[in-house]
Structure 1
Amino acid sequence: MQRTRFEGKVAVVTGGSRGIGAAVARRLADEGAAVAIGYRGHREAADALVAELGGGGRAIAVRADASVPEQTGALIERAVAEFGRLDVLASCAGIEHFDALEKITPADFDRVFAVNTRGQLFAVQHAAAHMREGGRIVLTSSVSASKAFFRHTLYAASKAAVESMVLNLSAELGQKGITINAIAPGGTATDMAVEHGASYLHPDLVGKQDLSGWLDVQVALGRLAEPSEIAAGYAFLASDDAAYMTGRNLQVDGGMF
């Protein structure tokens, strides 16, 4: 990667040890950013990524559970202390959930919304306090916020709330010259897809069609995205190329219909 759109800038990536978050951290670092990677339980992966990106001078890893706002705040404070500023927040931490309505519990609701919704809101709060004019915030929604899947209500609702937050916070943060947008990824070739991909099938198709067959008829490009392809969307929204884009949700889904 030869571009230098983020030369001299500092980014925090939550959920940055693997999957889409790791791809975002790589993309921003490849384009010149110093990166602070937040992780919850994959320390070895986070440390390996830091080494790949050039070590402490260019990247650090900080354990931070996205469901605990104080830990996200400590991650952001560490980034500012280490690198002297904060220009980009890429909020990539998230958890999946599939279950039928009658099986959803209050504990399920609290767990999913704590990471996917509350965690992202307070990440914005902490990050915005350190950002100057020109700051960029990119949250993570999902195509599930606007497309129905069986037994996916709780997860989808947590992501739809993110899109509403982005829309409403854009006015407030715009007064400070900070943009805020969201990415809605489609199916992506990550560990999460391996674990949950089959759950996206219509119940009548379980055992009759595999995920690749479903992708052939539901996605224009007929395949899962590579994490790097989703990361390109984050990099765009975090860059000056998107300076006049805020309050919006960018679907990067391969043409899902």
Structure 2
Amino acid sequence: MKRFADKTVLITGGTSGIGFATARRLLDEGAYVVITGRHETRLDAALARLDAAPERVLAVRADVASLADLDRLMERVDAWRGGIDAVFANAGVGVFKPSEEMTEADFDHTVDVNFKGVFFTVTKALPLLRDRASIVLNASWTLHRGLSVASVYSASKAAVHNLARTLGAELAPRGIRINSVSPGYIDTEMYREFNTDPEVEARIVADIPLGALGHAEEVASAVAFLASSDASYITGQDLVIDGGVLGSVPSQDPSEDPSQDAAQDAAQNPASPPSQTPDPDPASASAS
């Protein structure tokens, strides 16, 4: 029996990167999957790449920062499957600048998608969540380490993990579990689009104890575990998928060369126009 046989899973930001890899993984494990994105053309392309039976996948255009969009999303899911067994709140954005250069619009956009969007994705889904459902939130390893030019982004991701802890306690009486994942340097489409400097990548890889970038499929495996009954006694936790970065000492103190520190930050989380990852608008290299 497949772990997600006849289960319904909602994945926000599911058109590329970690969200897409998770959709593919859960389809392989028997799930009915709902993916969201902000652009119809990218949703259509994702459906073609997933190559699943039409009755197994529902694609819905939705911006998680819009409560009206979330209401419409839940109506579509309810009409399609009548309930939800797991949610992966994955959509997020990144704006990376020195703090003194952050505008109110930058701040609001980051918080609207990364924190407000995640919170209301969960709360709007609650009426559809079946008892003993599972929720996984996409946070980021940056919530555990101070990084230059990432103050608002890191704070928004810390808020995401704190939601996992507090909502984990709140939803426990229904048997609903909620956890977060914190990806590190993940080799996604966005990473390749924005990190074109081999020297910067060499420095990044040198600071990863496992000696390589991660892959979206590896994060998807972690999400699948937390969303499954295999993690039935785990809630309120954060699972870091970073190749050992947080547990190691960097090969060079970033303070010795701030320009290289900023370059690494940009490779991990390149600055971008407003967008939702992993909808492949420029946003976060790890799609987190």
Do both share a fold (TM > 0.5)? yes
Q: 1:48 maps to what in 2?
A: 45
Distance in 2, Cα, partners of 1:94 & 1:68: 13
Q: Which amino acid aligns with 1:59?
A: V
Contact 1:215 1:222 in 2 (8 A): no
Distance in 1, Cα, partners of 2:108 & 2:194: 20
Question: Which of 236, 240, 245 is the equivalent residue of 1:247?
Answer: 236
Tell me how large the CA RMSD over aligned residues is: 1.7
Q: 2:83 maps to what in 1?
A: 85
1:164 CA drift (Å) = 0.9
Contact 1:173 1:179 in 2 (8 A): yes
Q: List per-residue Cα deviations over 1:196-255 (Å, max 9, x = no partner).
A: 558xxxxxxxx8x72322233311112211111110011001000011100111101111
Q: Which amino acid aligns with 1:47?
A: D
Unpaired runs of 5+ in structure 1? 199-206
Q: 1:29 to 1:40 in 2, by over 3 A?
A: same
Q: List per-residue Cα deviations over 1:55-101 (Å, max 9, x = no partner).
A: 43000100000111221232222122112221010111011121011
Question: Which of 195, 213, 217 is the equivalent residue of 2:202?
Answer: 213
Q: Which amino acid aligns with 2:233?
A: Y
**Pairing 1:115–2:104 present:** no
Q: 1:6 maps to what in 2?
A: 4
Q: Which amino acid aligns with 1:33?
A: A
Distance in 2, Cα, partners of 1:243 & 1:77: 28
Q: 1:75 maps to what in 2?
A: 73
1:147 CA drift (Å) = 1.2
Q: Which amino acid aligns with 1:40?
A: R
Distance in 2, Cα, partners of 1:71 & 1:27: 26
Q: 1:178 maps to what in 2?
A: 176
Q: TM-score w.r.t. structure 1 length?
A: 0.90
Distance in 2, Cα, partners of 1:32 & 1:48: 21
Q: Which amino acid aligns with 1:151?
A: V
Question: Which of 13, 24, 34 is the equivalent residue of 1:36?
Answer: 34
Q: 2:23 maps to what in 1?
A: 25
Distance in 1, Cα, partners of 2:199 & 2:144: 23
Q: 2:214 maps to what in 1?
A: 225
Question: Which of 142, 161, 164 is the equivalent residue of 1:163?
Answer: 161
Task: Calculate percent identity across the aligned residue pairs.
Answer: 39
Contact 1:73 1:123 in 2 (8 A): no
Q: 1:173 to 1:100 in 2, by over 3 A?
A: same
- Helix, strand or coil: the match of 1:134? strand
- Tell me which of the two structures has the higher relative contact order, counting C-alpha pairs closer than 8 angstroms and 6 or more residues apart: 2
Unpaired runs of 5+ in structure 2? 249-288
- Helix, strand or coil: the match of 1:79? helix
